[in-house]
């Protein structure tokens, strides 16, 4: 089994080398796909260092287009049997890959979500963010008839056939409700597993805001009734 590990990057100079180092350390046959979404903090120059290294694909957007667009670019270059989304900010730990991959390796799942709310160790931060996440997950569940605990998680894993069968459109953080709606509509087998989570605060570079939460609310409703 070969993994395609897709890492969207936007202004993550402080963490990107550490993330790549941790991903390289996991013991799987893998390719690492780095997509710079027009960073302005020096991340782009750091990614240039990986361009000619074996096992890497390094891709650059000419303008900032958002996480969803960066993921689509990465997915289009993936050649592995399983696709793993890895954020570039150190909030999610690649040592959780064995837990994330086990339901797919065992033949029980097509999609695995890593949940921050199933009992794994996590940094204590932002009560209202957790309330918002649970509200959006509940609303998404009502429309998809899934019983997820963490629809907005950054750790999502897919067999290649899942990504190949879905047309994605959202450019920014609407990716999360969009992909969830579309895998539910196609009746793929979905599992959730507990993961660790080391959240950041805004002084450490966290980007998602209440505006993204409001956008997610719209996308949950939109993708319930249209493609």
Q: How far apart are CA 171 and CA 184, in angstroms?
A: 20
**pLDDT of 195:** 95
Predicted TM-score (pTM) of the model is: 0.89
Taking the domains of the chain in order of start, what are their residue ranges? Answer: 2-225
Q: How far apart are CA 179 and CA 225, in angstroms?
A: 14
**pLDDT of 217:** 74
Residues in the chain predicted with pLDDT less than 50, given as ranges, are: 202
**pLDDT of 202:** 47
Cα dihedral 177, 182, 187, 192 in deg (nearest 10)? -30
Q: Which residue from 110, 100, 103, 106 is spatially nearest to 159, judged by alpha carbons?
A: 110
Q: List the end-to-end C-alpha distance of the chain, in Å, as a whole number.
A: 31
**pLDDT of 128:** 65
Superfamily of domain 2-225: Spore Coat Polysaccharide Biosynthesis Protein SpsA; Chain A (3.90.550.10)
């Amino acid at each position: 089994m070969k993994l395609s590990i897709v890492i969207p990057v936007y202004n993550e100079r402080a963490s990107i080398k550490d993330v790549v180092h941790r991903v390289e350390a996991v013991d799987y046959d893998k390719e690492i796909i780095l997509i710079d979404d027009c960073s302005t903090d020096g991340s782009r120059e750091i990614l240039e260092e990986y361009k000619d290294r074996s096992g890497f694909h390094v891709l650059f957007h000419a303008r900032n287009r958002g996480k969803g667009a960066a993921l689509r670019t990465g997915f289009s270059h993936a050649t592995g049997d399983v696709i793993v989304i890895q954020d570039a900010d150190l909030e999610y730990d690649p040592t959780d890959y064995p837990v994330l991959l086990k339901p797919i390796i065992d033949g029980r799942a097509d999609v695995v979500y890593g949940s921050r709310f199933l009992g794994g160790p996590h940094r204590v931060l932002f009560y209202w963010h957790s309330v918002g996440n649970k509200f959006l997950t509940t609303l998404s569940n009502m429309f998809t008839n899934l019983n997820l605990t963490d629809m907005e998680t950054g750790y999502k894993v897919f067999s290649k056939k899942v990504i190949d069968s879905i047309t994605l459109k959202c450019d920014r953080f609407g990716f999360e409700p969009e992909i969830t709606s579309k895998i539910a509509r196609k009746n793929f087998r979905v599992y959730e597993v507990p993961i660790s989570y080391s959240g950041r605060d805004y002084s450490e570079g966290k980007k998602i805001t209440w505006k993204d939460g409001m956008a997610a609310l719209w996308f949950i409703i939109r993708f319930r009734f249209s493609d």
